[in-house]
Amino acid sequence: MANNHEFTRLALLASDTERAEDAEAELREAHDWVPLDEAEAVVVLGGDGFMLQTLHQMLDADRVIPAYGINLGTVGFLMNKHRSAANVLARIKKSRSIAIAPLRMEATTQDGQHHNFCAINEVSLLRETRQTAKIEVSVEDKVRIKELVCDGVLVSTPAGSTAYNLSANGPILPLDSNLLALTPISAFRPRRWRGAILPDRSAIRFRVLEPEKRPVSAVADQKELRNIAEVSLRIAREAELTLLFDPGHSLDDRIVAEQFVV
């Protein structure tokens, strides 16, 4: 929805690229910035990867504030266009808030260790060796595929549906769809299975079969675990994030536009 944001304490973070650092130097002179832990919102300079890194940093610190990204990377799907530094504060004031909820991954490795990570884009399970993976797929405690033979499988949020999910021929999901994409990666059996679209209230579980012969890793955005035994996934409503977009350039607009790229 459209907002009239009156943030008075803003933080500024930049990736370590030359373009982002040049923009940071220009913006430093345009406003009095505060540290991230004192800010009401943060301006993020870089690409999608740095934005994800920043959002995860806030999740790990258990202090989430709105983030306004300026694209100084490659794709910039989560970012706004780079323009003059002089009008950044006015753009933030007029920006539109979009709420996104990450996936919560609870993973168990073969040695019995338990791990808990959030993924804003997707969680993917991937084979570690030349051997194809064999994975049991359950939804709401019901086994839906007894043996998925594949290079891997992923679950994507709407915010991440145009990333790895799209490259794996998964569906693009509107941001307000309340859906998840369950997408196989180079599936060999069942041969005709193309994946599934699930309500985002669904609990999804993967169990690795023949793990000694066919080891599998799990990746939650940028965090990887190896030698996985089992992974459970659900939407983490309690960890909801807020992105700020210029009017006419919001994430849901981009998701629609991406479906007409030829």
Please give the annotated binding residues, written as ranges: 48-49, 121-122, 151, 159, 162-167
3-state secondary structure (DSSP) of residue 20 = helix
Token output for 14 = 């930049």
Q: How far is residue 180's CA from residue 192's CA, in Å, rounded to a whole number? A: 20
- Please enumerate, by residue number, every residue annotated as part of a binding site for NAD(+): 48-49, 121-122, 151, 159, 162-167
* Residue 207, CA atoms < 13 Å, CB-side half-sphere: 12
Residue 146 makes CB contacts below 8 A (sequence gap 6+) with 136
Q: How far is residue 260's CA from residue 258's CA, in Å, rounded to a whole number? A: 5
Residue 123 makes CB contacts below 8 A (sequence gap 6+) with 103, 105, 154, 155, 218, 219, 220, 231, 233
Q: Which of 48, 141, 221, 253 is catalytic?
A: 48
Residue 113 makes CB contacts below 8 A (sequence gap 6+) with none
Q: Residue 98: which of 82, 77, 74, 116 has the closest Cα?
A: 77
Catalytic residue list contains 48: yes
Burial (Cβ within 10 Å: 0-12, 13-18, ≥19) of residue 152: buried
What is the set of active-site residues?
48
